[in-house]
Structure 1
């Protein structure tokens, strides 16, 4: 614009100079649209504004005698390509080239001899550069938007993974602490109550049982840490070691072809076994326990069954979270679990838990 003020002649407030000044101002106003965001102007207003600016630029070439008046048409054509959709931009750019070319070809102004008419036709060509810039800008915006969406998805996935891991740890903590601490607390309360009666034999018995439960809790804690590790031992060896450390020897029956299963399957089956053995000791003390591990064609099945209690059962309802935790574990792996009383056979009156996990 500053170059136009300094070079375009005549420019004044009367006669041809006034006409040049008015057309110069309109052309400058057309270029000012570049400073406005596209969302601020309706499409129709933008097209009308740029059309008026093109007519003014062509007229400025005709009425001016010298200077850089022809540059306005080039700048406008380039911005048209960037601002408007391709079809509308090509139409307006063609109009710009035809008007400017006609002004010079038909010698409609005093400056026609300064510029060849072919230059007028060329004023519409910058529209191609404008279209290319617009497409590149949109590609950059699309790439940024895609990257932001991917980042949001990654954050959501990470948050979901954290919540899942929290749920898994909560189940493991419950399995170890809820049963063990509740039983230990019950025995200690019993010992405290028996102190008032003076029956030291029963106090010692309750105290010894509490000590025994503490030792068992430590074993369970060790197995919980082991199950939380990603480098878990093979399922069969891990389950055998767990049963032996819990005092259940020669109770495991294996059917099918033994194979390696994913670490997550091993971890969850071990936790289900641990929970089932704890429940059996709690609700059916003295009852025999049998464990069957089956490697079927498309699944791994763990079945734990205990016979009815042979010793006095301590009345303790528990939290009820154990079976819920089992179901959550199996559901996460796409498997099924059933738990209920045994109604027939030599184990009638006992309890059975069966978990079936694909893979």
Structure 2
């Protein structure tokens, strides 16, 4: 559309402005028409490709040429160049420079007609020359509108990028949570079952069928426990709510440490997310105790305070030989990640005093 208007103004000027020829005044008119046409066509150059100072120079020259064309020509639409150039100055230049050029154009064009310079002064009133600066207002308004639209588009794009980044972060967070749940259910259960099956395989060579049967039964019980843990994992992924105290009691009992839980403070409902993570931390601690301190006594304490919930899992030293095995190395890391997701902390280390000296303790403090 802009090019159509430009070509229309140029075509109308060459069709109507007179005299037009190759000598005398006609040659001057032709030269000024060419200069005005080039100045008007230059408004289609990309802003990024033209320095601001060059913009100011060619628009100033174009306005001077437009005023000169009004003075030299005898008739025609030569004044259209001035209107369009001033309007584009308001769109392309800063407000101060654009207004200055508009005032200059009004004074030049109005002066040409007022002082009756040139043969065509009688056809146009001098006040018309003063109005050639008015299109600068339209240009400034269009410039402001374009900036507003550009700012809105950039804001929308920025919001879209932020939304995509947030979605990627949420996906990575959820992947981490699922990875921890898979580790808790599969790694722990399969490691324990594997230990019992290896023990049964070793006992076959001794001919002690009672011990083989006991190891086999232990493996079966661990399979059942794994099914329970799988159900808990499904609940966690669905964000179903589990009662903390009852679920923790069942978890401890299934690990073979009955009546090992002590609850202090006023029991209250804990958010589902906190419940799931505390249960996983307890499960990890109990599994590590069974792996690294077989036969040792385990004590679990759940304390409800005004602003936090604390879980302690402490085990005494091993009373049976520790079977060497390869762990995943992700247990303590997973516990720390779970606590961090809830804004809490994990401390883990050896017990240095008391009846459980030489054992290990894990303490998780979760706010709220």
After TM superposition, the structure 1 stretch with the greater mean CA deviation from structure 2, 183-192 or 266-275, is 183-192
Of the three residues 17, 35, 40, the one matched with 2:26 is 17
Tell me the CA shift for residue 91 of structure 1: 0.8
Runs (5+) with no aligned partner, structure 2: 1-9
> Per-residue displacement from partner, 1:123-171 (whole Å, max 9, x unpaired)?
0110111011111111111111111111111111111111111112111
Tell me the CA shift for residue 197 of structure 1: 5.6
Of the three residues 101, 118, 122, the one matched with 1:113 is 122
Q: In the alignment, what sits opposite 1:141?
A: 150
Cα distance in 1 between the residues matched to 2:307 and 2:57: 70
Secondary structure of the 1:282 match is helix
Cα distance in 2 between the residues matched to 1:292 and 1:229: 27
Asked if the contact 1:223–1:242 (Cα under 8 Å) also holds between the matched residues in 2, the reply is no
Matched, 1:331 2:340: yes
Cα distance in 2 between the residues matched to 1:191 and 1:234: 36
Secondary structure of the 1:123 match is helix
Of the three residues 204, 213, 236, the one matched with 1:204 is 213
Q: In the alignment, what sits opposite 1:252?
A: 261
Question: TM-score w.r.t. structure 1 length?
Answer: 0.93
Cα distance in 1 between the residues matched to 2:170 and 2:62: 58
Describe how 1:288-307 pairs up with structure 2 within 5 A: 288-307=297-316
Asked if the contact 1:330–1:355 (Cα under 8 Å) also holds between the matched residues in 2, the reply is yes
Matched, 1:123 2:136: no
Cα distance in 2 between the residues matched to 1:33 and 1:263: 67
**Equivalent residues, number:** 359
Describe how 1:172-321 pairs up with structure 2 within 5 A: 172-195=181-204, 200-321=209-330
Of the three residues 174, 179, 204, the one matched with 1:170 is 179
Secondary structure of the 2:31 match is helix
Tell me the CA shift for residue 105 of structure 1: 0.5
Q: In the alignment, what sits opposite 1:75?
A: 84
Q: In the alignment, what sits opposite 1:91?
A: 100
Asked if the contact 2:17–2:76 (Cα under 8 Å) also holds between the matched residues in 1, the reply is yes
Cα distance in 2 between the residues matched to 1:169 and 1:146: 34
Cα distance in 1 between the residues matched to 2:285 and 2:59: 79
Q: In the alignment, what sits opposite 1:153?
A: 162
After TM superposition, the structure 1 stretch with the greater mean CA deviation from structure 2, 103-112 or 192-201, is 192-201
> Per-residue displacement from partner, 1:211-256 (whole Å, max 9, x unpaired)?
2322222222222222333232243343234334445443322222
Matched, 1:356 2:365: yes
Cα 1:333/1:317, change in 2 over 3 Å: same
Asked if the contact 2:241–2:271 (Cα under 8 Å) also holds between the matched residues in 1, the reply is no
Tell me the CA shift for residue 351 of structure 1: 2.1
Cα 1:194/1:292, change in 2 over 3 Å: closer
Question: TM-score w.r.t. structure 2 length?
Answer: 0.91
Cα 1:29/1:132, change in 2 over 3 Å: same
Cα 1:182/1:247, change in 2 over 3 Å: closer
Secondary structure of the 1:305 match is strand
Secondary structure of the 1:287 match is coil
Cα 1:14/1:137, change in 2 over 3 Å: same
Cα 1:190/1:239, change in 2 over 3 Å: closer
Cα distance in 1 between the residues matched to 2:183 and 2:271: 24
Cα distance in 1 between the residues matched to 2:238 and 2:89: 63
Secondary structure of the 1:162 match is helix
Describe how 1:54-65 pairs up with structure 2 within 5 A: 54-65=63-74
Tell me the CA shift for residue 272 of structure 1: 0.3
Cα distance in 1 between the residues matched to 2:342 and 2:12: 74
Tell me the CA shift for residue 202 of structure 1: 4.4
Asked if the contact 2:242–2:276 (Cα under 8 Å) also holds between the matched residues in 1, the reply is no
Runs (5+) with no aligned partner, structure 1: none
Cα distance in 2 between the residues matched to 1:257 and 1:192: 48
